Structure 1
Amino acid sequence: MTEVDPKQIDALAAEASRLYAALTDNGRRAMEALRTIDPIVVEELVATFESDDAAAGWLISRTIGFGGSSALDLLAQGEREQVMHVLHHLRYGLCA
């Protein structure tokens, strides 16, 4: 086993923190853009996740349910109904 330089770990942790902050900011900007483009999607996101931050996080997270894509990816590809369908299931359950 090789020894790891603590400075390297610190640098990696700082980079991960910077990337996470940039991703979080991207999610917030996506929510703001969607408020203009498709406010109904934003309403459903916020109603489902009960906060803008949680909704923005889900919007940009890659999920198995979307084949490794994010809801934002699907919206960009014109797959609005698939995103709305998943949001409906998350909010009301699979039997609703």
Structure 2
Amino acid sequence: MTQIEPKQIDALAAEVSRLYASLEDAGRGTLEALRETDPTIVEELIATFESEDKAARWLISRTIGFGGRSAVDLLAQGDREQVMLALGHLRYGFCA
């Protein structure tokens, strides 16, 4: 087994931090773009998560419920209905 040196771990940790920050920026950018193209979904996101940061994070997070894809992946494929359905389930529960 090859041993990783502390400098390598520090460099990897710094890169991971940079990637997470970039991903969060992308989530906020997506939320802002949706304000222009689909304000209703933004209203639902914020009502569901009660925070723009949490809403933006959920938009870009891959989930099992979406088959390992993110909500923004589904929106990009035109599957708005599945995203709205998921938001309804999160906000109101799974009962019809």
Report the TM-score, using the length of structure 1 for normalisation: 0.97
Q: 1:9 is matched by which residue type in structure 2?
A: I
User: Which letter maps to 2:23?
Assistant: L
Identity %: 74
Moved over 4 A (4+): none
**Number of equivalent positions:** 96
Contiguous gaps of at least 5 residues in structure 2? none
Q: Which residue pairs with 1:50 in the alignment? A: 50
- Which runs of 5 or more structure 1 residues have no equivalent in the other structure? none
Cα distance in 2 between the residues matched to 1:83 and 1:61: 12
Higher fraction of strand: 2
CA RMSD of aligned residues (A): 0.7
Q: Output the CA distance in 2 between the equivalents of 1:78 and 1:2.
A: 46
- How far apart are 1:2 and its partner, in Å? 3.1
Normalising by structure 2, report the TM-score. 0.97
Residue-by-residue CA offset, 1:13-48 (whole Å, 9 max, x unaligned) = 000000000000000000000000000000000000
Could you say which residue in structure 1 is the equivalent of 2:31?
A: 31
Alignment partners' CA distance in 2, 1:34 and 1:3: 46
